[in-house]
Structure 1
């Protein structure tokens, strides 16, 4: 039978671990997930992860080493969460205004897997703190909660990725149409505006932004097709898409053009959506590490 101390430890650790998952499961600029069922699935999985982390310490102390194997099952479950998210997003690709792209989907799926580890780590830490403290029960609970909050903060800061706005400036672009050709700030975009209706539509309703990398080596990330596809997806997701959407790069100066005919014509919202597009982990490079490696190779 569990005594009152063990029961309090498990309940406190489980609650803190679940809260860690809830805090990281928020609707952001990407608006995913944005429906009750999606929230419910991830909160329940986070609760299970927290419960496993909470009982790990009592299981060890009772020499029930077989129970620790459940942590291995938890890792497998989290991997299944990544696969579930990836399969779900891939199945929705044909229904979106434009594709997210495989690189973006892979990053989202990994994020959902990693955040379940938050619940596990926080619960495990809270449980451990309560166990090592030899004081009044209420004081152990208060201290463990404070430790849990600090760990949540540190994990959130550690896992927070950068966005396009961190490495580039985003400014409105000037649209020009010459015959059937579309230009934005002098950058050639497309030559498919052959009809009068297409030219009229783009002149009256088309909007565009130009992305300027803050440093030259940031072009490696921004020029990547997967990153540009993610930017275009977020732009169409934020404003809707009436017709036409393009992303083009300027080979000489490294500028990136994003232009479309949206449902909601709001240039400020377009700029915000581009700035807040996450930088994909699969395309990010550490400039300092690359320089170090080059020096060593010489």
Structure 2
């Protein structure tokens, strides 16, 4: 009887971490304004990989306690598997990109793929941490052990999400609605010249009557380096067009003297609030982030 209870206890020590790790993957899969991954097939794929990574994390501690070091090599296999997930996500997004009205762009796709790889590590680390804390707790009260394991899993997930949370456009810039002006074939957003390709009356009238525009003002001059990156501008216009739909025409333009970015499109759904909010929430791409401490220091010295 004692042996059976002990066996059930060790089963719980594996099942609870697996459940915590899988739940952590689910919580990071909540569909945001970008609507990716798709539901339900995208959910299923990522939940299954989250379950597998949770299982690997859960058995690592028992394997070490049993001195079964061969089982620990599964951690290395998991790393390779997660890299494969990133590769598949990247290829899938590139295939989808070919049928979109506006491209996501390589930089945005790379960032999304890396994010999904990292979130599989969430499952593994939460499961591993839960298993570790439950093995450290004495055997005298199984309910306290389970409760502490769940609490530790929640804390660890919160820390991981906070650590990996990236910034968005609103963190480095102010976004305001702007006035569209068409002069002959030239298009202006406020005082920023955008294009001179509006050569026919139909195009000019459409942009003037149905277009929506915004100007992104960097909070510091050196932030314009990020905002003016082609990949970042492409991500912004993609999200704006995907949320509002695209009837015709879309442009982005940088005012090189001030670092301001003009965004203009003719949407299917005209919603100024959604337009501004979408631009604010567009993530800053990791591949173009730079360390501006030196530039900021020099800028402050010049002001002084």
Indicate the SS of the match to 1:162: coil
Structure 1 residue 122: deviation in Å?
0.4
Match of 1:285 in 2: 290
Going from structure 1 to structure 2, the CA distance change for 1:290 and 1:179 (only over 3 Å counts) comes to closer
Structure 1 residue 291: deviation in Å?
6.1
Render the CA deviation track for 1:64-116: whole Å, top value 9, x for unaligned: 11111111111111000000000000011121121101000000000000000
**Match for 1:37 among 41, 44, 48?**
41
User: Residues of 2 paired with 1:290 and 1:260: CA distance?
Assistant: 33
Residue 85 of structure 1 contacts residue 109 of structure 1 at CA under 8 Å; is this kept in 2?
yes
| Runs of 5+ unmatched residues, structure 1 | 294-298
Indicate the SS of the match to 1:95: coil
Match of 2:120 in 1: 116
Render the CA deviation track for 1:172-198: whole Å, top value 9, x for unaligned: 011000001100111111111111111
User: Residues of 2 paired with 1:157 and 1:203: CA distance?
Assistant: 43
Residue 86 of structure 2 contacts residue 116 of structure 2 at CA under 8 Å; is this kept in 1?
yes
Going from structure 1 to structure 2, the CA distance change for 1:76 and 1:192 (only over 3 Å counts) comes to same
Q: How does 1:197-276 map to 2 (within 5 A)?
A: 197-276=202-281
Residue 169 of structure 2 contacts residue 284 of structure 2 at CA under 8 Å; is this kept in 1?
yes
Structure 1 residue 287: deviation in Å?
2.1
Residue 222 of structure 2 contacts residue 296 of structure 2 at CA under 8 Å; is this kept in 1?
no
Residue 20 of structure 1 contacts residue 118 of structure 1 at CA under 8 Å; is this kept in 2?
yes
Match of 1:152 in 2: 157
**Match for 1:84 among 84, 88, 92?**
88
Render the CA deviation track for 1:133-163: whole Å, top value 9, x for unaligned: 1141111111111001000111011111110
Match of 1:296 in 2: none
Structure 1 residue 165: deviation in Å?
0.7
Residue 194 of structure 1 pairs with residue 199 of structure 2: yes
**How large is the RMSD of aligned CA atoms in angstroms?**
1.6
**Match for 1:55 among 52, 55, 59?**
59
Residue 222 of structure 2 contacts residue 295 of structure 2 at CA under 8 Å; is this kept in 1?
no
User: Residues of 1 paired with 2:297 and 2:81: CA distance?
Assistant: 38
Residue 169 of structure 1 contacts residue 211 of structure 1 at CA under 8 Å; is this kept in 2?
yes
User: Residues of 1 paired with 2:69 and 2:292: CA distance?
Assistant: 45
Residue 97 of structure 1 contacts residue 240 of structure 1 at CA under 8 Å; is this kept in 2?
no
Indicate the SS of the match to 1:259: strand
User: Residues of 2 paired with 1:173 and 1:109: CA distance?
Assistant: 33
Structure 1 residue 292: deviation in Å?
7.9
Residue 245 of structure 1 contacts residue 261 of structure 1 at CA under 8 Å; is this kept in 2?
yes
Indicate the SS of the match to 1:32: coil
Indicate the SS of the match to 1:169: strand
Match of 1:131 in 2: 135
User: Residues of 2 paired with 1:257 and 1:133: CA distance?
Assistant: 58
Match of 2:13 in 1: 9
Match of 1:175 in 2: 180
Indicate the SS of the match to 2:98: helix
Query: TM-score w.r.t. structure 2 length?
Result: 0.94
User: Residues of 2 paired with 1:292 and 1:167: CA distance?
Assistant: 17
Indicate the SS of the match to 1:92: helix
